[in-house]
Chain A
């Protein structure tokens, strides 16, 4: 119990004194996971709506693959991204391994199926007749897609939360492709593991509390938007 209490006090101190190392780790985590979420939103929203609104042979197989991808283990992604980015690998000339960009790439791969899957599900749950109705009222195809996305806005917010929550708390890929390099690619999760193995449990607890707090804060903002928009 003492340990947890000490950890909380330490976390408080690190936060109120704006400890430069903790702050830089925190901002780097936000920047990396934020970028990865943005990339996955862009790809996932497009792919998800395209999948939801078109019919083609083998669609079930693709949807099944997307759903499997939603549970993509981060270490598997980390391993394959590493292999591709090795100096001897096919993308080695980019010299991206052990950089923040490498973490963004890996996290985008983790988050994209999550966003795609939720987009797909939320668009498919809209009544089918709605599409016909919108088109019948003279809307273009792009307008129709946009109206459907607006209609499914609330579940789509869940996609953002799930995507961001998945990548900010992810460690396997971050440590493999980022290397946990001090002041450069050290994020909240990898720093927590390292401090634990160093025996600095107080700092490790402080970092975890910051991680929880961040995730809470961002979900709070999104929930607020979601609740405000809810029709009465």
Chain B
């Protein structure tokens, strides 16, 4: 029995392994035939719950399977630059223009906007409430030395924040009131709430998380705070492995009338106001007016 038992065990284990490894690619193959689309996007579209509503509709309609990789806009574009994604949904306009100009992306189209807001503890220790200009708001925070939490992940929000510091020529790097998380919007808001700190956030994620946060909107409405989302297809001429029809189908879906209507009403029942404003077909210059 001894040697037979040993051989039997080896046989069974091997069979099980082959069954597992054999079955697994079969599952993946089924998805591959269905044609995968890799969507690289920002954390705000996932954390706000918008994609959970839109993607099932898209998948049902087209039969594609969308693999959503929610990272910052910076990382999303880095994935696009290597051809590791098929389509991007991002909000970092200056970097996007460069991305397209460098030939990595095509068909950059306006999808929607909302706006950035400066949030902080309700007591507002830096007394920024009522200041209209975002640059002045940031100057006040810097001069009073109140804690400010930065995403520091090259996301659209992070780029916007850096733009404002630079616009005011404010020294922020390495200051002891300036903390960098390197995390998504949701986690950064949680940290700001715990540490009674200020941070720049997109309105959508803030509203979605508001019930758990001890943070108030302290500054809003400045033109520089506009947060604009574009959809970009990764250039198939540059990366032959990119699923070009899939990327195009998703981009077309995002600017279609049906989707734009869903974006318009998303969040109204839950938060009393929409989280995003649909903008397909409009010009960037006309937003926020």
Q: Known pairs A87-B82, A147-B2. 5 more at Cβ < 8 A?
A: A86-B82, A95-B36, A96-B28, A100-B24, A184-B65
A124 at the interface (CB under 8 A from B): no
A198:B208 contact, CB within 8 angstroms: yes
B66-74, B96-104, B245-253: which lies at the interface:
B66-74
Quick one: which of A35, A88, A142, A197 has the most chain B CB within 10 A? A197
A146:B190 contact, CB within 8 angstroms: no
A87:B84 contact, CB within 8 angstroms: yes
Q: Can you report 17 residue pairs joining A to B where beta carbons are below 8 Å apart?
A: A38-B17, A41-B13, A88-B84, A95-B28, A95-B32, A96-B28, A98-B69, A101-B25, A101-B28, A104-B24, A139-B2, A184-B67, A196-B187, A198-B47, A199-B190, A199-B213, A201-B212
- In the complex, how many angstroms separate the beta carbon of B168 from the nearest chain A beta carbon? 29
A99 at the interface (CB under 8 A from B): yes
- In the complex, how many angstroms separate the beta carbon of A38 from the nearest chain B beta carbon? 6
Cα distance A207–B183 when bound, in Å? 21
B58 at the interface (CB under 8 A from A): no
Contact of B3 among A35, A38, A143, A201 (CB under 8 A): A143
Cα distance A142–B3 when bound, in Å? 7
B2:A143 contact, CB within 8 angstroms: yes
Measured CB to CB, the residues of B under 8 A from A are 2-3, 5-7, 13-14, 16-17, 20-21, 24-25, 27-28, 31-32, 36, 38, 43, 46-47, 49, 52, 55, 65, 67-70, 82-84, 183-187, 189-190, 208-209, 211-213, 239, 241
A182:B208 contact, CB within 8 angstroms: no
Residues of A within 8 A of B32 (CB): 95
Cα distance A98–B243 when bound, in Å? 15
A197:B43 contact, CB within 8 angstroms: yes
- In the complex, how many angstroms separate the beta carbon of B31 from the nearest chain A beta carbon? 7
B6:A142 contact, CB within 8 angstroms: yes
A133 at the interface (CB under 8 A from B): no
Cα distance A146–B5 when bound, in Å? 9
With contacts A38-B20, A101-B24 taken as known, whether A198 is within 8 angstroms of B84 at the C-beta atoms is: no
Contact with B along A83-101 (1 / 0, CB 8 A): 0001110001001111111
The 10 closest A-B pairs by CB, nearest first: A197-B186, A199-B209, A146-B6, A199-B212, A197-B187, A87-B241, A101-B24, A98-B67, A99-B28, A179-B69
> In residues 19-69 of chain A, which contact B (Cβ within 8 Å)?
35, 38-39, 41-42
With contacts A99-B28, A101-B24 taken as known, whether A180 is within 8 angstroms of B2 at the C-beta atoms is: no
Residues of A within 8 A of B52 (CB): 182
B211:A199 contact, CB within 8 angstroms: yes
Residues of A within 8 A of B36 (CB): 95, 98
Cα distance A196–B20 when bound, in Å? 32
- In the complex, how many angstroms separate the beta carbon of A201 from the nearest chain B beta carbon? 7
Contact of A42 among B13, B27, B49, B190 (CB under 8 A): B13
B20:A42 contact, CB within 8 angstroms: no
Cα distance A179–B40 when bound, in Å? 10
- In the complex, how many angstroms separate the beta carbon of B235 from the nearest chain A beta carbon? 14
Residues of A within 8 A of B84 (CB): 86-88, 97
A92:B67 contact, CB within 8 angstroms: no
Residues of B within 8 A of A86 (CB): 82, 84
Residues of B within 8 A of A38 (CB): 13, 16-17, 20
Cα distance A35–B23 when bound, in Å? 11
- In the complex, how many angstroms separate the beta carbon of A213 from the nearest chain B beta carbon? 24
With contacts A86-B84, A88-B82, A197-B187 taken as known, whether A179 is within 8 angstroms of B20 at the C-beta atoms is: no
Residues of B within 8 A of A97 (CB): 84
Cα distance A100–B25 when bound, in Å? 9
- In the complex, how many angstroms separate the beta carbon of A119 from the nearest chain B beta carbon? 14
Contact of B67 among A142, A179, A199 (CB under 8 A): A179
**Shortest Cβ distance from B25 into A: residue:** A101
- In the complex, how many angstroms separate the beta carbon of B133 from the nearest chain A beta carbon? 30
Cα distance A222–B69 when bound, in Å? 37
Residues of B within 8 A of A196 (CB): 186-187, 190
With contacts A38-B20, A95-B32, A101-B24 taken as known, whether A140 is within 8 angstroms of B3 at the C-beta atoms is: yes
**Shortest Cβ distance from A139 into B: residue:** B2
